[in-house]
Structure 1
């Protein structure tokens, strides 16, 4: 009975504040106050106050056991060890320290690939940009020069598995970057 009186008193007070806000032409604020004022009456009429009391008392009992019961502390320690083991195996798996089902084969040198943008026909579909005229100039079909033979030093450098970077370097050098 006391719960009903308190909840309806809170609702009446909230509706009164909402009415004052509306009288002062602050309709948005009045609507918010009215919405919050309906909450205590709604909680009482749906029967959620006893549920909240039960949940609160159960949380208080659990917290009391957490502080004073050694079994609960043992469970907390076990959960911590479990989390640490899961994190360690995930970290070790990413570093490759744990072989999953067998040893992985060692990576060899990257296979040789043609240069990016190489055009064996010698004719390109785009025209170069002339900054002086601010237009594209028509390009005539020119036979493309054959690619230079790589020197032995470059070939040795390509064997380290980073051959793709030499292609990128060549593209950047052509563009003046």
Structure 2
């Protein structure tokens, strides 16, 4: 009863504010304020406010919320453990099978090359002075 009265009063006050806003030639804002102020009145008329008030003061409803919270905590905990372990048992077995088949396939498909078939390494640049010639040119250009 009190919740319905409060919602009705909020609706009337909101409509008053919307009227003042419309008087100030801000019609778009006035329409938006009127829409927000009509929401509590609509909730009262549909009976949702009464249902919410009954739920808020019901110990059974609060126990139900507690059970829902416990279920959510269990879901979150089991998911965190699965992530830490690397997935569900079924997913881990599938991953282990895939690793074994990949390891066998990689070893089986590698060509067996003799020792003399590797390409020769490219020769390195000779001398340490040539390596710094570019740097010296840049430093001289800047007067250092």
Structure 1-normalised TM-score? Answer: 0.44
Distance in 1 separating the partners of 2:74 and 2:105: 39
CA distance in 2, matches of 1:2, 1:76: 33
Q: Could you tell me how far 1:28 is from its partner in structure 2?
A: 1.6
Cα distance in 2 between the residues matched to 1:77 and 1:31: 43
Q: TM-score, normalised by structure 2?
A: 0.53
The answer to whether 1:103 aligns with 2:100 is: yes
Alpha-carbon RMSD: 4.2
Picking from 81, 87, 92, the partner of 1:90 is 87
Measured in 1, the distance between the counterparts of 2:73 and 2:49 equals: 35
Structure 1: runs of 5 or more not aligned: 67-71, 111-150, 155-177
Equivalences for 1:40-79 in 2 at 5 Å?
40-56=40-56, 57=58, 60-61=62-63, 79=75
Q: Which has the higher helix share?
A: 2
| Rounded Cα–Cα distance in structure 1 between residues aligned with 2:77 and 2:7 | 46
Higher relative contact order (CA 8 A, sep 6+): 2
